[in-house]
Amino acid sequence: MPLLSSSRLFSDGPMALEAGGALPRLDMAYETWGELAPDGGNAVLICHGYTSNPHAAGWWPGLLGPGKAIDTARWFVVCANMLGSAYGSSGPPSIDSRSGRAYGPDFPDITLAEMAAAQERLLAHLGVRRLAAVIGYSFGGQLTLQWAASRPERVGAAVVVASGLRSSSGPDAVRALEQRFAACPGWNAGHYLDGGDGERAVRESLRALRLDTLRRYGVARHAQDQLADAAAAAARLDELASQWAGEFDANALIALRKANIRFDATPLLGAIRAPLLYVLSRSDVLYPPSIAPATMALLRDAGVDASYLEIDSEYGHFAPTANWRDWGGALGGFLARHG
């Protein structure tokens, strides 16, 4: 279970789960930037995407920092690796104290409500009393909606980026992942983390999956445009995919996808009190702008003070990172007005 060198680890006692039972120990990997105000009220929580990590300064370098849209000279910024993920927080690759080995496929089913509850424990440990804003990218956008609806008194503003009210996929996505990894030699019903041939086969499958994802999400096109050389762009993509495959976990992909497809923010919208900024990319195939009119109508019908911004970009799901200049000003202004 990799812990990024830039991350810290918060550990706490047992955490009860909605489906019954409990995690005997809760671990949350996290990173922070800026200083917390004496009243604990200048915090901004960033929620990362499905396969990402808590190093938000690495994947949003143009937006996060002193004087930038998410101004760390003003805000105390926290990004926590979500529960069930693979970058240090409790999840399938972490050790089950009862067996002494990785949970693997035995990691219990979790919900977005539990992900928010785990983050809340971390924030309490850090001294955060109120969130000036919650900002979420992709899967993190749904976690942002969970936060805004379940803790309306604690969230000053919400920013939902390249995301929607529910998952863009369904149960077939979970079955496809399960079948993909089951076909790997040495999968061992999901208990593959032994450093042997089984683990190598699964990580090669993860690498191939990541390459496909980078192509579909606009990262390949961005690399081609930046490097202006097809061979160099292909090498860069392979480097990114190989690094990720060596860090992530197949069971975490499955566990997070299960949680994601069960979530639907629609019945929760009436509880949201925070102003909300909704950001999509013109060319995103995962959350295309065609969903914006219905989403905005549902938000406004529920009484949410929602505004919409579309990034005019060819880089699809990657646009909020690649084209940060095109929406950073709007984000900074939104946080200054409402955070």
Both structure tokens of 113 = 């409500």
| Residue 279 contacts residue 248 (beta carbons within 8 Å) | no
Chain CA centroid to CA 111, Å? 14
Contact 271, 283 (CB under 8 A): no
Q: Which among 89, 138, 163, 168 is annotated as catalytic? A: 138
d(Cα 270, Cα 299) in Å, to the nearest integer? 8
**How far is Cα 300 from Cα 172, in angstroms, rounded to an integer?**
31
For residue 145, report the phi and psi dihedrals to the nearest 5 degrees. -60, -40
What does the DSSP assignment read for 104-141?
GGGSPP--HHHHHHHHHHHHHHHT---EEEEEEETHHH
- Our answer to whether residue 317 is catalytic in this structure is yes
138 is catalytic: yes
Contact, 322 vs 218, CB < 8 A?
yes
Question: Which tokens go with 274?
Answer: 């925070």
Catalytic, 284? Answer yes
For the chain, the straight-line distance linking the first and the last C-alpha, in angstroms and rounded, comes to 35
Q: How many residues does the chain have?
A: 339
Sign of the Cα torsion 258, 259, 260, 265 reads: positive
Whose tokens are 């104290």? That residue is 97
Q: How far apart are CA 328 and CA 339, in angstroms?
A: 15
Residue 142 exposed, middle or buried by CB count within 10 Å (0-12, 13-18, 19+): buried
Residue type, 102: A
Q: Which residues are catalytic?
A: 138, 284, 317
